Structure 1
Amino acid sequence: MNTAQRLWRSFLRQSDTTALDPDCRRGRGRVPRTGAVDRRDQHPAGDNRTMGRPAKSPSNGHGAVSSGGAGLVSTGDDYARFAHMLLGNGQFDGVRVLSRQLVEAMTTDHLTERQRAEPPFALPLGQNLWAEHGFGYGLRVRTRQSGAGPSVGTLSWPGGLGTAWYADPHKDVVALLLLQSQNLIVAADWRSTIGDDFRTLTARALED
């Protein structure tokens, strides 16, 4: 059992998280679609075709090596365990998974002023990427609160096919939205009102 497997299985009890999806689970995989709704005109973008069956995914072994920065297969329950572990400063269900010092380093904004002024995407994409966020080690960190949205210090990252999550340490809330549709998120920015609705409805539920 390697280090990643020890984290997933032994400490976080993530039974459905893996880098290579075994044959017995491939039928559970969500099929990504090509269609999306553009926030600018609210009309469908694309023709809503299937992008690829899960059996053809690199995570199913169709590649020489596993990706070091993407490609895990997981579920909402397993993802929530990971997020709650971060809110617990490296602990989950009374078990120490990561050291407090490592979690503090992961969740601290390390961007310099020059990096904030030079977004990593070509124009016109992602030019406001760091307007309300910084970046830790693999995590986006909120540096400014907008309305009733997530608090300063909230951890998050939006995926390219519409998977998004955030963990708010001040409200002790973990929220996940797991979609699979191309162009919902481009350059870490939602191209659909779904993202705004997700944050608004979550905040409204907490207020109620």
Structure 2
Amino acid sequence: FVRERILKPLKMVDTDFYVHEGKRERFASCYVRASDGSRQLLDDGQSSPFLKPPKAPSGGGGLVSTAGDYMRFCQMLLNKGTLDGVRLLGRKTVSFMTRNHLGGDLASLGTPRFAETNYNGIGFGLGFSVVLDPAKAEILASVGEYGWGGMASTAFWCDPEEEIAVVMLTQLIPSSAYPIRRELRTLVYQALVD
């Protein structure tokens, strides 16, 4: 389903549930930051389980991709469901997915455990965090910006107000090991000029 309905129409040729032959030399290893600050190999890119098809594909934790493919997906979202003349989602569906569906912000529901984010002023839509109040979130952002991060310090966000999308792929676990997401966000927004 994912290949036929999402990946092929969006021409995401480097995204799948495993890394295909001929692309394996491009697959990065993943590291974990130890308590002493050293970096230790966690998943060798040349012997990773992601080099073989999974028994049960998992879209929430099993897709491998490239920054270019991921950006195509983000651009489709910024375009309200279309990319290169292909409509993948209706504009009202994208609008519904990317707005807050909680009674408040994430901080009112619990404590963040995996990221450097405090969750104040951040809501959640259908698969995305949503910025409700940049001042409370203590980040440079626009109200309505949406995105999410991954376990290995990866992140993406789409800002419809500024008409930008950002994809950052890293291979360092845990995501709170270094505040790279916050630093990248600051650099991106400081670079915007009118």
TM-score by length of 1: 0.80
Name the CA shift for 1:119/1:78 in 2 (closer, same or farther; >3 Å).
same
Name the CA shift for 1:45/1:156 in 2 (closer, same or farther; >3 Å).
farther
Q: Does the residue aligned with 1:199 lie in a helix, a strand or coil?
A: helix
Distance 1:115 1:164 in 2: 18
Q: Does the residue aligned with 1:51 lie in a helix, a strand or coil?
A: strand
Distance 2:49 2:184 in 1: 29
Distance 1:179 1:193 in 2: 12
1:152-174 deviation per Cα after TM superposition (whole angstroms, max 9, x unaligned): 11111111111111110000011
Distance 2:188 2:93 in 1: 29
Q: Which runs of 5+ in 1 are unaligned?
A: 37-43
Name the CA shift for 1:110/1:29 in 2 (closer, same or farther; >3 Å).
same
Give the counterpart of 2:155 among 164, 174, 186.
164
Between 1:77-86 and 1:50-59, the stretch displaced more is 50-59
Map of 2:94 onto structure 1 = 103
1:2-22 deviation per Cα after TM superposition (whole angstroms, max 9, x unaligned): 45333212x211111111221
User: How well do the aligned residues superpose, as a CA RMSD in angstroms?
Assistant: 2.7
Amino acid at match of 1:4: R
Distance 1:161 1:105 in 2: 28
Name the CA shift for 1:45/1:76 in 2 (closer, same or farther; >3 Å).
farther
Name the CA shift for 1:175/1:151 in 2 (closer, same or farther; >3 Å).
same
Distance 2:85 2:52 in 1: 35
Map of 2:45 onto structure 1 = 54
Q: Is the 8 A contact 2:30 2:43 kept in 1?
A: yes
Map of 2:76 onto structure 1 = 85
Between 1:94-103 and 1:72-81, the stretch displaced more is 94-103
Amino acid at match of 2:184: F
Amino acid at match of 1:25: K
Map of 2:12 onto structure 1 = 14
| Residue 193 of structure 1 pairs with residue 191 of structure 2 | no
Name the CA shift for 1:74/1:120 in 2 (closer, same or farther; >3 Å).
same
Deviation at 1:27, TM superposition (A): 1.7
Q: Which runs of 5+ in 2 are unaligned?
A: none
Q: Is the 8 A contact 1:107 1:139 kept in 2?
A: yes
1:171-199 deviation per Cα after TM superposition (whole angstroms, max 9, x unaligned): 0011122110112x24xxxx423222211
Amino acid at match of 1:77: G
Q: Does the residue aligned with 1:49 lie in a helix, a strand or coil?
A: strand
Percent sequence identity is 31
TM-score by length of 2: 0.85
1:19-76 deviation per Cα after TM superposition (whole angstroms, max 9, x unaligned): 122132222111111237xxxxxxx854212111235444333642122421111111
Deviation at 1:200, TM superposition (A): 1.2
